[in-house]
Amino acid sequence: MLAVPRWTSSPSARRLVWPALGALLAVLSGVETAIDETFRFPLVTALPGVAVGAVVALGARWPEAAAVAGALSVLGNYALGTPGPGGAQLIGMAVLVGHAAAVLPVRRGLRAAVSATLVVVVAGLVFGPSTWESVFYLVVTGTAWGVGLLVRRSRERARELQVLAARLAEQQEAVAGAAVVAERARIAREVHDSVAHAVSVMVLQMGGLRRLLPDHPEAQDVLLGLERLGRESVDEMRRVVGILRESGAGDPVPQPSLSRLDAVLAELRAGGMPVELVVTGEPAELPQLVDVAAVRVVQEALSNVVRHAGAAATRVEVAWTPGRVTVTVTDDGRPRVEPTPHAPGGHGQLHMRERVAVAGGDLDVGPVRGGGYRVRAGFPVPAPAAVPPAAVGA
């Protein structure tokens, strides 16, 4: 697959690419004139083509002026007695018009294309051997402008997708941070529930033991100190758990759900990534653990498509069957932007497997025959609880 030219390369790259291209076009113009056995024009008639090569080599910094200058070279062909420009010269003229359309704002690019077209069309009508020459020039410059405009739109979409990928990465970091805080609070509550219960039992037992030793004041003092230390420890644990709960508290955010999956994909579509959502079967109510895990798998898979597959066209499928729900994310392997295989990450599949395993599901990932990649996760759907007959008749 041909990659879209990177018209916004670095200045050092331009200094190498454009002079090389201009020199090649100039040499081809000379060779074309020298080996022509039909008209046998003198070598001096290659000068307009050489001039276009020089404009390509030196005029990349001034795209609009370069496009018009390349079109004006046609006057040199007619002045030297030739019927029109050669193939290499036409290629150079088209490159200049397309470059202007790709790097300039839309209005300026259109102005450059129209100006160049008017020059060659008028020159063809006035000096050309037939009116078809003007029509041919119109086709060449118009096609060049259209290709340049497509390149410009591809660059803009690539920038939008890169911004979208960065936002998605930021959202993943925020979700990961919130998950860490929630997990810490959950662990703290579990520790408080288990340890505080054990310490409270120990305090009660020490109080009972102290009452059984009325004749041992020293032992009673020790036991009284242990009771006080135990109560202080329980209070301290409660304060720590309270701090963790407050640090994790905030405005309630709805948990991800397959029922709201289309809203998750809307932002990707807004950035220009082609994402198709297909839902089959009858949706059923899922446990929160399974519902969240399924959405997280889809988000991680889409993030990998943007990061490693260049935002390729992607199909998201949610298949509901009796007792099971399966989510599948498949991309066609045709990048819309340049992939970034060295982007931060590398543990996405491991995290997906852990999340799916915790939810009682299974995960299958791998390439698709013919190109692309597929992530498929299946989760069990518990049957709805049966209502007892007594409750129905109540």
Distance CA 68, CA 52 (A): 11
C-alpha span between 352 and 330 (Å, rounded): 16
Burial class (CB in 10 A: 0-12, 13-18, 19+), 329: buried
In the DSSP assignment, the letter for residue 2 is P
Q: What is the pLDDT of residues 130-146, one digit of tens each?
A: 777 777 878 888 888 88
- 151-158: long-range contacts, CB 8 A cutoff, minimum separation 24: 151/4, 151/5, 151/7, 151/98, 151/101, 151/102, 152/101, 152/102, 152/103, 152/106, 152/109, 154/4, 155/4, 155/7, 155/8, 155/102, 157/272, 157/336, 157/337, 158/336, 158/337, 158/338
Backbone angles phi, psi at 96, to 5 degrees: -65, -45
Asked if residue 27 has pLDDT above 50, the reply is: yes
Q: Give the model's pLDDT for residue 184.
A: 65
Hey, what are 214's tokens? 């009325």
Taking residues 86-107, report their average pLDDT.
87
What is the C-alpha separation between 286 and 342, in angstroms, rounded? 36
Which pLDDT band holds residue 390 (cuts at 50, 70, 90)? very low
Residue 63 · residue 99 · CB < 8 Å:
yes
What is the band of 281 on the pLDDT scale with cuts at 50, 70, 90?
A: very high
Banded model confidence at residue 271, pLDDT cuts 50, 70, 90: low
Helix 47-58, helix 11-34: angle, nearest 10: 170
Rounded to an integer, what distance in angstroms lies between the CA atom of residue 246 and that of residue 241? 9
Q: Are 283 and 142 in contact (CB under 8 A)?
A: no
In whole angstroms, give the CA distance from residue 51 to residue 324. Answer: 70
For 195-211, the pLDDT digits (tens) are 655 565 566 566 677 77
210 contacts 223 by C-beta, under 8 angstroms: yes
What is the C-alpha separation between 282 and 374, in angstroms, rounded?
A: 23
Q: In what order do the strands lie in the sheet with 362-367?
A: 275-280, 314-321, 324-331, 373-380, 362-367
Percent of the chain at pLDDT exceeding 70: 75
Read off the pLDDT of each residue in 67-79 and give the average, rounded to a whole number: 85
Architecture of domain 258-380: 2-Layer Sandwich (3.30)
Question: What's the whole-model pTM score?
Answer: 0.43
Assess whether pLDDT exceeds 90 at residue 379.
yes
Expressed in angstroms, the distance from the first to the final Cα of the chain is 69
* Amino acid occupying residue 313: A
C-beta separation of 283 from 384 below 8 A = no
pLDDT for the residue numbered 174:
80
pLDDT band at residue 352 under the 50/70/90 scheme: confident
- pLDDT of 129: 74
Are 7 and 99 within 8 A, CB to CB?
A: yes
Binned at pLDDT 50, 70 and 90, residue 361 comes out as very high
Mean residue pLDDT across the chain:
77
Is residue 116 within 8 A of residue 101, CB to CB? The reply is no
Closest to 73 measured CA to CA, from 10, 26, 12: 26
The position carrying tokens 């990177």 is 6
pLDDT at residue 79 in the model: 82
Strand partners, 275: 314
